[in-house]
Amino acid sequence: MTRSEIRFSAGPAVELICGRGWSSRIRRSRNARLARGARIAWLAIALASSGAAALAEEYKIDPVCSYVSFRIKHNGYAMAYGRFDDLGGTFMLDEKTGDALTFDIGLKSESVNTNNAKRDAHLKNADFFSVKEFPTIEFKSKLIRRNGESGYEVAGDMTLHGVTRPINVHLERIGSGKDHQGAWRTGFEGSFVIKRSDYGMNWGLDGSLGDEVTIYVAFEGVRK
């Protein structure tokens, strides 16, 4: 056997003689197989994702039957409450599996309501929501993970007062069914906490108002 040959024995009756360059061909072949395997894996993921999207259906949030309210500490000894009266949005849900793909919710900041006209006017000015400059408050989901039979851990971006920050929201699916007109509906509720200073709303942080704001959401969607 010459130096340019390598002899392999695969058994008493089988021998393989390979010349110089054989090992590089083996490496190229192995790399090609790995590349093909990676392409197949990505294709499978893409097909699974597109299949899930194809099965999910869009729901339009019914503003008449949906609510967004908030709570904040007042003067360190009480809680003050308010709500937004104008909201809407959509979500994507696979009714058979219960998997949710998206939640997109928007509010009109002008619709803030604390049951006091003078206080509401203050909330609408530059000290708080600055509604003329920032007319909407938005949440858009980025990642949704199931948590038990009816729970959802939703990670997304909230835009408030011109600032966009990531937040996490726990939602519970309340149920699904037909309304009195035969339309199919699904309802969710949940809550989360933000710091208003993270969004540039700093008025009253000397003790008049707390920094943490608890936000409660409850909404119904009508399947399109």
User: So what's the pLDDT on residue 196?
Assistant: 98
The whole-model pTM stands at 0.75
User: So what's the pLDDT on residue 51?
Assistant: 47
Q: Name the residue ranges covered by the structural domains of the chain.
A: 5-53, 56-223
Question: Which has more confidence, 47 or 84?
Answer: 84
- Residue 194's DSSP bridge partners are 213
The Cα 168–Cα 143 span in angstroms is: 10
DSSP state of 208: T
Segment 12-60, tens digit of pLDDT: 443 444 444 545 555 566 666 655 655 555 544 444 444 445 579 999 9
Q: How far is CA 154 from the centre of its chain?
A: 5
User: 56-223: which CATH topology?
Assistant: Lipocalin (2.40.128)
Neighbours of 91 (CB within 10 A): 24
How far, in Å, are 67, 110, 115, 160 from residue 135 at the CA level? 18, 7, 20, 9
Angle CA(68)–CA(74)–CA(80) in degrees, nearest 5? 30
Segment 102-156, tens digit of pLDDT: 999 999 999 999 999 999 999 999 999 999 999 999 999 999 999 999 999 999 9
